Every structure is written in C-alpha cells, then in structure tokens.
Amino acid sequence: MNIANVLTVLRIVIVPLFLMVLFAAGGHETNWRWGAAALFGVAAITDRIDGQLARKYGLVTDFGKLADPIADKALIGAALIGLSMLGDLPWWMTIVIVARELGVTLLRLAVVRRGVIPAGRGGKLKTLVQSVAIAVLLLPVSGGFATAGMALMYLAVALTVVTGLEYVVQAARMWFGSPSGSRAA
C-alpha cells in the first residue's frame, strides 16, 4: 500500500457517500447538491493526483493498475446514473458513456494476452471533459451555467464515441497483428 493506492481506495470509498449525498432530500436540495458536487470534485482530483504520484515516484503497482480504472468507472458511472435518475441528464447520454466504458473494458480483456493499449490524449481529454461536465451538472445552478454543463456533456459524449471507436481500431490491429497506430483510452 502506498499513497497513490490509498488515494484510489479513498475514491472508491467516496462513491457510495457521494450517492447518499446526491440523493439526500430528494436530490435537488441546494446544500446537498453542493455537497455532492464537492465530493465528486474531491474524488476526481484524487484520480489526477494518484496517477501523478504513482508515475513520479515509481509507485505503480498491480493493485493500482486494477483498482484505478475501477474507481474511475465507478465514480463516473455512479454520477451519470444518479443524474439520470434525478432527471438532470438524459438517459441516452448515460447509456452511451456507460456502454462505451463496458465495451472498452471487454476489449481490454479480449486483447490482454497480445498487449495493452495505453491511454492516449483523446481518452484523457474525454475523462477531463466528462468530469467537468458532471461537476457542473451536479451544481445547484440554472441558466447559462446549466446550459454550459449540458454543452460540455454533449462534447463529452462525442469524445466518448470517437475515442471508443479509436480503441476498437487499436484492439483490432492488436488482435489481427497489424502495426499499431494512434492511441485511445
């Protein structure tokens, strides 16, 4: 156990707490929504910090390689499903993003014996835009700020689809032995 792994475990622990706060008082009470947004923000920031610490100080572990993506998917998935259940995010957006994440996970399992496709810039951008869009949608705001949150979510969905397709191409190249090209996550 090292600090990077502790932060990953903390992120996993935050997910159910985040959901309890998100759904408190019917899911739309201002103070609870600020609390949910704050918990989501803390968890999202730990994702960035744990990765930087692991790489900078050589703290990359098999546990971290397994737990970090699980923590990321649990946080993003819980937030998307929660927002859709509350009527704050269309279900089709949640389904597209969650289906892509499940699909990429299954592809990783399918090609794992042939190699690993590392996260590329597109995948990292996708995660960043998803996180910012979710954070904005969690805030108890309306008007232009809420509209900006939905615009970011549309961008997140587009990036999700594009990087998912890139990942399929990379997995196919790996599976069929073609030279690798661009990277996706």
pLDDT at 182: 47
* Residue 100 clears pLDDT 60, i.e. is over it: yes
Q: Region 49-77: what's the mean pLDDT? A: 91
Please state whether the predicted TM-score (pTM) of the whole model is above 0.75.
yes
* Residue 179 clears pLDDT 60, i.e. is over it: no
Task: Report yes or no: 132 and 152 within 8 Å, Cβ to Cβ.
Answer: yes
The 10s digit of each residue's pLDDT in 110-140 is 888 887 777 788 988 999 999 999 999 999 9
SS (H, E, C) the chain: CCHHHHHHHHHHHHHHHHHHHHHHHHHCCHHHHHHHHHHHHHHHHHHHHHHHHHHHCCCCCHHHHHHHHHHHHHHHHHHHHHHHHCCCCCHHHHHHHHHHHHHHHHHHHHHCCCCCCCCCHHHHHHHHHHHHHHHHHHCCCCCHHHHHHHHHHHHHHHHHHHHHHHHHHHHHHHHHCCCCCCCCC
Task: Report yes or no: 163 and 184 within 8 Å, Cβ to Cβ.
Answer: yes
Q: Region 71-84: what's the mean pLDDT? A: 96
Q: How far is CA 154 from CA 53, 71, 73, in A?
A: 31, 23, 19
Task: Indicate the average pLDDT of the chain.
Answer: 91
Tokens read off for 33: 């929504």
Task: Report yes or no: 163 and 103 within 8 Å, Cβ to Cβ.
Answer: no
Tokens read off for 68: 């970090």
- Which residues neighbour 92 within 8 Å (Cβ) at sequence distance 6 or greater? none
